[in-house]
Amino acid sequence: MAAKTRILVTGGAGYLGSTMIPALLDAGYAVTALDNFMFRQAPLAHVCANPDFDVVRGDARDVAVLKPLVAKADIAIPLAALVGAPLCNADKIGAETINREAVVTLLKLLSKDQRVLMPVTNSGYGVGEKGKECTEDSPLRPISLYGTTKVEAERAVLERENAISFRLATVFGMSPRMRIDLLVNDFVHRAVTDRAVVLFEPHFKRNYIHVRDVANAFLHGIAKFDQMKGRPYNVGLSDANLSKWELCERIAKHVPGFVFMEAPIGEDPDKRDYIVSNSRIEATGFAPRHSLDAGIVELIKGFRMIRNTVYGNV
C-alpha cells in the first residue's frame, strides 16, 4: 500500500484551514496542522478522531517548531497570516513577520522536491482600470500593508519552480472558525441582526469566492500540480464581480425588510475596486460549486446560531 501524501498546513485552525483540512482528509491525504490558536477556539475538534490528522500548537515563525514538521511533509500550505488591512495595521510587526518572513523561513527549510500551494489576495491589484479585467499579468499595486506583505510573500513562493499561488477573491461562507468581518459575511450578519447597512464607497467592485471553493481550488491544484506549477491563479466567481451596492441588492432578495443606504462615513483601507478574470484557473478545469446566492442563504442560517452579544442580556 502506497504511503499517503503528507501535507503541512500552517495556520490550519483559521477560517480557511478549518474548512480546508477536513476536505484534504476526506480526499485521502495525511495532514498536520500548525497553529498558535490566537483566537482561543477549537475549530478542528471534529477531525481529531481521524488517524491521518495531527495538530501542533506553535508559531509558524519558529524554526525549531517548523523544522521537524517540514522534514515529514510532501506538501506545504502556508495559511498562517494576519488577514485583512485592519488587523495588519493594528499589528504591523506581526503582519510583516507572519505574512512575509514566516513564508520565507518555510521556503528556506523546504527541499526543491517539496511542493508549496499558497493563498494570497487579489487585493494586490489595488484600484483596477475602469472596465478592464485584472488578470494574473496585471500590475500588482497593493495599497495596504496586508496587500504588500502578501504580494512579497507570493513573489518569494513563485521564485521556486515547485509552487502555485492562489489570488483569492473576498471569501464568504460558514466555517468552523467563523469570521464575521469579511464583506459578504458582515453584510449578511448586519442584514439578519440589524436589518440595515450603511455603505461607504458603495460602487467599489470586487470579486467573491466561497470558503469551500477555496478548499476545492487547493485540491484541484494538488491534483494538477505539474500542469499548474510556477504560476499565480485568480480564484473567484466569474459571475460575481459586484459592487457593495449590488451585493446588498442580492442579499435583499433573501432578507425581507433589509434596508441599505449610502453615506460618506469611511473608506476601504485596501481601496479594492476592480473586476477580476478567473479564466486562467477555469482553463485548467476548475469550476466553483458554490454560488453567491447559495452562500447568502447558508449565512442566514448560520447567523441564526451566531450572536455577537457577549455584553447583552438578549
* Domains of the chain, earliest start first: 6-172+209-236+277-288 (3.40.50.720)
The beta strand positions in 51-122, using DSSP E, are: 53-57, 75-78, 115-121
Question: How far, in whole angstroms, is CA 156 from its chain's centroid?
Answer: 19
If you compute the radius of gyration of the chain from its CA atoms, what whole number of angstroms results? 19
Give the pLDDT confidence score for residue 311 in this predicted structure.
76
Give the DSSP H or E segment for 64: helix 63-71
| pTM for this predicted structure | 0.95
* pLDDT of 310 above 90: no
Q: Which of 16-30, 102-116, 192-206 has the lowest mean pLDDT?
A: 192-206
Question: What was the pLDDT predicted at 114?
Answer: 98
CA distances from 281 to 99, 103, 212, 239, 285 (A): 24, 23, 16, 15, 7
- Phi, psi values for residue 99, rounded to 5°: -70, -35
pLDDT tens-place string over residues 173-190: 999 999 999 999 999 999
d(CA 119, CA 81): 10
Cell matching residue 73: 511533509
DSSP code of residue 263:
-
Q: Do the beta carbons of residue 60 and residue 66 sit within 8 Å?
A: yes
Per-chain mean pLDDT for the chain: 94
* pLDDT tens-digit series, residues 208-266: 999 999 999 999 999 999 999 999 999 999 999 999 999 999 999 999 999 999 988 77
Which pLDDT tens digit goes with each residue over 42-57? 999 999 999 999 999 9
Give the per-residue pLDDT at 213: 98
